[in-house]
Amino acid sequence: MTYLKPPKRITAPQIMARKREKPIVMLTAYTARMAELLDRHCDVLLVGDSVAQVIYGHGSTLPASLEMMIAHGEAVVRGSSRALVVVDLPFGTYEESPAQAFATASQIMDRTGAGAVKLEGGTAMAETISYLTQRGIPVMAHVGLTPQAVNVLGGYAARGKGNLDYSRIMDDAIAVAEAGAFSVVAEAVVEELAISITEAINCPTIGIGASVKCDGQVLVVDDMLGMFDRNPKFVRRFDDFATRIDEAAAAYAEAVRGKAFPTQQHCY
């Protein structure tokens, strides 16, 4: 009998080597089944702290807890076999010190089997990124609009429109890349800035509301599938699952109420 070997997972160094090569495909995933469906199409599956909003109905990413990230990280790793799985470090679990960040990141990687972690912040997080990478933890950085800092930023508006903001975000991107990040998410930054960052740093940029000229793209999978009424400017809906689910649920309800389901073929 011939046994097929499972595909080897993509690694953080392999993603880093994709700079200016074939675009990197990244989507969020929070469940084993969704990870299973996305795995063959994606290079990276991100267990984002957006799970707090998408799965649990919170108004921001801030309520995401460490246990929440670990539970969903475990599920996504179990459901996938090819893509690099990256797990967000939740708010309040890494900002205090590099040692705190290492304790959080090492626990996530140990308990989930993920291949990397992601954290938000630029220059202020450079020391932490260096500390983690020197201790064997690959880090994906995140600059521009950083949702965990929404209360400081004052909302979810695009970043980099003013000269000061533009320069600060550019400095952030350079700092995290030089600190050892294997890739950098650039969220909701003006296109000129996204292009400048992509040209300036030696690791891949992953855009979300940024530019097609980034080295890769990421979306929240539920936004991409049209699961919510909201439709941010940077989201392209590749399907309309909300309507399809509504129609399917309506057909089911009608069949149950009309005694058309279950039929004899559905009964034991």
Q: What is the four-CA torsion angle of 112, 76, 120, 180, rounded to 10 degrees?
A: 70
Q: Is 36 a catalytic residue?
A: no
Annotated binding site for 3-methyl-2-oxobutanoate: 49-50, 88, 118
- For the stretch 56-68, what's the b/e string if a residue is b when 16 or more beta carbons lie within 10 angstroms of its beta carbon? eeeebbbbbbbeb
Binding annotation for Mg(2+): 49, 88, 120
- Please state, in angstroms and rounded to a whole number, the distance separating the CA atoms of residues 10 and 18: 11
Q: Which residues pair with 140 in a beta bridge?
A: 118, 183
Report the alpha-carbon distance of residue 259 to residue 255 in Å, rounded. 6
What is the Cα–Cα distance from 75 to 50, expressed in whole angstroms?
Answer: 16
Task: Find where tokens 């459901």 sit.
Answer: 79
Q: Which residues are annotated as a binding site?
A: 49-50, 88, 118, 120
Catalytic member of 74, 95, 127, 187: 187
Q: Give the single-character DSSP code of 139.
A: E
CA 212, CA 120: separation in Å to the nearest integer?
A: 22
Distance CA 100, CA 217 (A): 30
Residues identified as active-site: 187
